[in-house]
Amino acid sequence: MIKQITPNIWQLSFKTFSSCVYVVKNLEPILIDTGSKEVESELLKNLKELYIEPEDITSIILTHNHYDHNGNLNLFQNAKIYSFINTKEIEKSFPDFKVLSTPGHSHDSICILYEDVLFSGDTIFDKNHNYIGRTDLPESNPKAMKQSLEKLKNLKYKILCPGHLI
């Protein structure tokens, strides 16, 4: 399903289990996460409806490296992949994007602030933090999650774009 969030942000969500995929139409379209492999055909179809071919995508930002977020990287051969390991480069390439390290759900979780929109991956699923990412996974760190939530509490933004819909 395609939902337009702002004049230049679209949220793609799927029938099968997967993260949401966000399309940010900057100068060139940027993807935030790519969903799980199971939704490949639905993802391609949705992108086509937005007049985007896989080769048009030159940048992908991953909120973290879980299979339901990174499953379709191989479709985008022209894309540079940005993640936890090169956050400085994200801010350099896209000065409007501010990257926050928010470990807890996974050690490599990041949130991305873009204008008044927060892309929160699996860190938080609602603005009030009633729904947060799992911290019972082997790579989770509940204590780090607490600190990350504290960090997000003080952040000013209007629209939340979470990794999964509640």
Smaller CB separation from Zn ion, 29 or 122: 122
Residues 103-122, one symbol each (x = binds Zn ion by CB under 5 A, - = not), give: -------------------x
Q: Closest distance between Zn ion and the C-beta of residue 123, in Å?
A: 9
String of contacts with Zn ion for each residue 51-80, x by CB under 5 A = ---------------x--------------
And the tokens for 8? Answer: 């230049």
> Can you tell me the distance from the alpha carbon of 166 to that of 152, in angstroms, rounded to the nearest whole number?
19
Reported in sequence order, the residue ranges of the chain that DSSP labels E, i.e. its strands, are 2-6, 9-12, 21-25, 29-32, 59-61, 80-82, 97-101, 110-114, 117-121, 159-162
Note whether 26 and 58 are within 8 A (CB): no
Contact track, Zn ion, 81-100, x by CB under 5 A: --------------------
Shortest spacing between CB 51 and Zn ion, in angstroms? 30
Angle at the Cα of 120 from the Cα atoms of 119 and 125, rounded to 5 degrees:
120
Minimal distance in Å, beta carbon 32 to Zn ion? 14
Closest-by-Cβ residue to Zn ion is 66
Is residue 23 within 8 Å of residue 10, measured between CB atoms? Answer: yes
Interface residue list for Zn ion (CB under 5 A): 66, 122
